[in-house]
């Protein structure tokens, strides 16, 4: 399995909403509900913000929401704030033990708040 | 949940290195554990998973035979043994817990640099 496809960058003004797609296949995103999203600031470890497609872990902002349609998962950030400027990655379970990779990450999206 | 990686550093190509990840603040033996790496300026790459009971391990296909994941629940520590290191293995290596699927809680990472 190759990396899931995300746009390299997305930008918007404060207060606006953005959606980041994460495109895969029936072997990963389309076949399972184990899709997560992470926020990563420069020089910091990734932080889980969405798991199992749409669930938010304790402490994650309610402005983050997740969804999935077919083989594409999406992260929506509502009411964009300056603190949302970071890199975002999706992750999906990618199959059985015979797969090339049990889990696969997205290519990453840099969010810029204008 | 608190995870702290250690053991990174500069290593020559072809040499071996074992990095560690010590967990605290949770029942370590109840969790599966991942290793994930991130090369400088690049994205995240999943490497390996070990089940909570340690009976099963899974690897990125291209690393099989060169990297080995293991755990010592008495020491609350996860390991990644890396052999025959190459320049392209240069990255920050993260450990993370697994509750149901993709990594959940992450450590701060340890930098491994493979260079002569």
In the predicted structure, residue A2 carries a pLDDT above the cut 90: no
Q: Give the integer Cα–Cα distance in Å for A90 and A75.
A: 9
Q: Give the integer Cα–Cα distance in Å for B57 and B69.
A: 7
What CA–CA distances, in Å, run from B113 to A4, A47, B86, B94?
26, 24, 9, 14
CA dihedral (B98, B100, B103, B107) positive or negative? negative
Residues of chain B with C-beta less than 8 angstroms from the C-beta of A105: 36, 43-46
B23 touches chain A (CB under 8 A): no
- Kindly determine whether residue A101 and residue B60, on different chains, have CB atoms separated by under 8 Å: yes
Q: Give the integer Cα–Cα distance in Å for A85 and B54.
A: 38
Residues of chain A with C-beta less than 8 angstroms from the C-beta of B58: 97, 102
- Kindly determine whether residue B43 and residue A108, on different chains, have CB atoms separated by under 8 Å: yes
- Kindly determine whether residue B100 and residue A57, on different chains, have CB atoms separated by under 8 Å: no
Confidence at residue A96, expressed as pLDDT on a 0 to 100 scale = 61
A110 touches chain B (CB under 8 A): no
Query: Are A49 and A37 within 8 A, CB to CB?
Result: yes
- Kindly determine whether residue A105 and residue B43, on different chains, have CB atoms separated by under 8 Å: yes
- Which of helix, strand or coil describes residue A83? helix
In chain A, % of residues over pLDDT 90: 89
Q: Tens digit of pLDDT for each residue in A11-53? A: 999 999 999 999 999 889 999 999 999 999 999 999 999 999 9
Residues of chain B with C-beta less than 8 angstroms from the C-beta of A45: 94, 106-109
Among A22, A102, A104, the residue to mutate for chain B (most B Cβ within 10 A): A102
What is the length of chain B? Answer: 116
Query: Are B37 and B29 within 8 A, CB to CB?
Result: no
Report the pLDDT averaged over residues A100-111.
94
In the predicted structure, residue A95 carries a pLDDT above the cut 90: no
- Kindly determine whether residue B43 and residue A107, on different chains, have CB atoms separated by under 8 Å: yes
Query: Are B87 and B114 within 8 A, CB to CB?
Result: yes
A55 touches chain B (CB under 8 A): no
Supply the mean pLDDT for chain A. 94
Report the pLDDT averaged over residues A77-102.
89
Q: Would you state the structure tokens that stand for residue B75, as one six-digit string?
A: 């020491």
Query: Are A37 and A46 within 8 A, CB to CB?
Result: no
- Report the phi/psi class of residue A30: left, alpha or beta, with left for phi > 0 and alpha for psi in -120 to 50: alpha
- Residue in this structure with the two tokens 């702290």, named with its chain if needed: B4
Give which of B55, B45, B36, B34 is closest to B98, Cα–Cα: B34
Question: For B89, phi and psi rounded to 5 degrees?
Answer: -85, -5
- Kindly determine whether residue B102 and residue A103, on different chains, have CB atoms separated by under 8 Å: yes
B8 touches chain A (CB under 8 A): no
pLDDT tens track, chain B, 116 positions: 999 999 999 999 999 999 999 999 999 999 999 999 999 999 999 999 999 999 999 999 999 889 999 999 999 999 999 999 999 999 999 999 997 789 999 999 999 999 99
Q: Would you state the structure tokens that stand for residue B46, as one six-digit string?
A: 């999943």
């Amino acid at each position: 399995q190759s990396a899931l496809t995300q746009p390299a960058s997305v930008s918007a003004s404060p207060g606006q909403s953005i959606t980041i797609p994460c495109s895969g296949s029936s072997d990963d995103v389309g076949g399972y509900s184990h899709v997560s999203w992470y926020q990563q600031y420069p020089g910091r470890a990734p932080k889980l913000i969405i798991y199992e497609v749409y669930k938010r872990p304790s402490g994650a902002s309610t402005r983050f929401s997740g969804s999935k349609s077919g083989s594409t998962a999406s992260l929506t950030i509502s009411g964009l704030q300056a603190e949302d400027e970071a890199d975002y990655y999706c992750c999906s379970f990618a199959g059985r033990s015979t797969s090339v990779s049990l889990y696969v990450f997205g290519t990453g999206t840099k969010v810029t708040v204008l | 949940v608190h995870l702290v990686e250690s053991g990174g550093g500069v290593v020559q190509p072809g040499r071996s290195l074992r990095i560690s990840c010590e967990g605290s603040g949770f029942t370590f033996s109840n969790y599966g554990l991942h290793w994930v790496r991130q090369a400088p300026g690049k994205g995240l790459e999943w490497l390996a998973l070990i089940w909570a009971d340690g009976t099963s391990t899974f690897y990125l296909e291209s690393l099989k035979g060169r990297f080995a994941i293991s755990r010592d629940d008495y020491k609350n520590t996860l390991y990644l043994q890396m052999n025959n290191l190459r320049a392209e293995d240069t990255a920050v290596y993260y450990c993370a817990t697994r509750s149901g699927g993709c990594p959940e809680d992450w450590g701060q990472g340890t930098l491994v640099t493979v260079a002569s």
